[in-house]
Amino acid sequence: MIRLQVNGHQVDLEAPLSILAYLGQIGANPNSLAVELNGQILPRDGYSSTEFKTGDRVEIIRMVGGGSRPPQRPAASI
């Protein structure tokens, strides 16, 4: 049994599981999120080769599009 924390919640896995496999298991799209493993952002190309270990702390962050609009220029007075 592998016990870890994911987004502050305890998760128990039956067997070693890669991050990519775990994301698939929970229905998350790996292209629209970031994964922090034990305080370090993990590059996406490491999702399939990195397996969870007991005691890991994981944060899965969903990226959201958007941002702020450029500042408005004051209208010219006539």
Q: 72 lies in a domain? A: no
Q: Strand, coil or helix: what is 71?
A: coil
Residue 78 lies in a domain: no
User: What is the rounded average pLDDT of the residues 62-66?
Assistant: 73
Residue 63: predicted pLDDT:
76
Residue 68 falls inside a structural domain:
no
- List the CATH number of the domain containing 50: 3.10.20.30
Q: Is residue 50 part of a domain?
A: yes
- Reported residue count of the chain is 78
Prediction pTM value = 0.77
Domain housing 21: 2-62
What is the average pLDDT across 24-49? 94
| 75 inside domain | no
Number of domains present in the structure of the chain: 1
Q: How many helices (H) and strands (E) does the chain have?
A: 1, 5
6 within 8 A of 60, measured Cβ to Cβ: yes
Contact between 59 and 36 (Cβ < 8 Å): yes
**Mean pLDDT score, 37-44:** 96
Instruction: Answer whether residue 27 is part of any domain.
Output: yes
Asked if residue 74 belongs to a domain, the reply is no
